[in-house]
Structure 1
Amino acid sequence: MDKVPMTVQGHKALSAEFEHRTSNERRRIIDAIAEARAHGDLSENAEYSAAKEQQSLNEGRIKELETLLALADIIDVTKLSGDKVKFGATVTYIDEDTEEEKTYQVVGDPEADASAGRISISSPIARAMIGKEEGDSFEVAAPGGSRSYEIVKIRYI
């Protein structure tokens, strides 16, 4: 399998989630299953079924986190610099049609969260920005037609 690029902060967040799920959530779910079992007949026990489903979902996420953490290629963005957009860059750009300004950091897939200002390196907008410099324009194909943007600022923080 390929390495999964991620920032130091993204790795810390995934590690914290893994720790929480293995330490706290597992114990809580096991306790919920035990309590539901104590109520008797398991065939008609909704609490038992719900707890077992929670356990399945939690264990699935734990396996996913184990894989991501094992394949992590941790990149310290504070040690990066340059005048071109690459992984870890915080980019401010303007929509050339609406003059709306947005700022996003280009991060790995597991830590992407557009509402928190982090977009995946594999997203269409990030792929279009990679290699560009301040003042460069780039286009992104969108469902409503192609959109044009201009890069205003590139930082590595």
Structure 2
Amino acid sequence: MSKVSYYTPEGLKKLREELSQLKDVERPKASQAIGEARDKGDLSENAEYDAAKEAQGMLEMKISKLEERLSNARLIDESQLDSTKALVLSKVKIKNQSNGMEMTYTLVADGEADLASGKISVNSPIGKGLLGKSVGEVADIQVPNGIIKFDVLEISR
């Protein structure tokens, strides 16, 4: 059973570019490597050929998984989202009640999460805890060492 994933236009474009790179550049390289290894003689004792075939198999599996993700990808229509609640594509500023530290995260789909740029998945513990919250609410987020309370300070798009 396939799972529908939601993407921003940029995230969907990035996914399509990655698939294109694998199909148009990496696949011909793998075929060429197999051909070169095949030309080196006896295939039963040719480790280079076996490695090239293995690499091609891994590449084809990666392409297949990307194609499946793309077939189940849906574009998020930001105009239909409630801007008063923390939802996908919301930029949420939160404050940790225990240490007073403030953080700003953008909630995104799994495939677009990048903590270094402040994008967290809606399926991460913090993302799940923030979903549906409004400004002024407290989000209780379950983490491995207990529960952390965050005040929701701002929500924007």
Query: After superposition, where does 1:1-157 map in structure 2 within 5 Å?
Result: 1-77=2-78, 80=81, 82-156=83-157
Coordinate RMSD, CA, aligned: 2.0
* CA-CA distance at 1:27 after TM superposition: 0.7
1:40 CA displacement: 2.0
For the residues of structure 2 that align with 1:95 and 1:46, how far apart are their CA atoms? 55
Shift in Å at residue 50 of structure 1?
Answer: 2.4
SS of the residue corresponding to residue 86 of structure 2 reads coil
Q: For residues 37-96 of structure 1, what are the alpha-carbon distances to aligned partners after superposition, in whole Å with 9 as ceiling and x for unaligned? A: 222233343332322222112111111111111111101447745121011112122222
Unaligned runs of 5+ in 1: none
Corresponding residue pairs, total: 156
Give the match's secondary structure for 1:43.
helix
Q: State the alpha-carbon separation in 2 of the partners of residues 57 and 134 from structure 1.
A: 46
- Show CA shifts across 1:107-127 (max 9, x none): 222222323322222222111
Instruction: Point out 4+ residue stretches in structure 1 off by more than 6 angstroms.
Output: none
Task: Tell me the TM-score normalised to structure 1 length.
Answer: 0.87
Give the unaligned 5+ runs of structure 2: none
User: Quick one: structure 1 residues 6 and 19, their matched pair in 2 at CA, closer, same or farther if it must change by over 3 Å?
Assistant: same
Structure 2: distance between partners of 1:11 and 1:96: 36
| Corresponding residue SS for 2:68 | helix
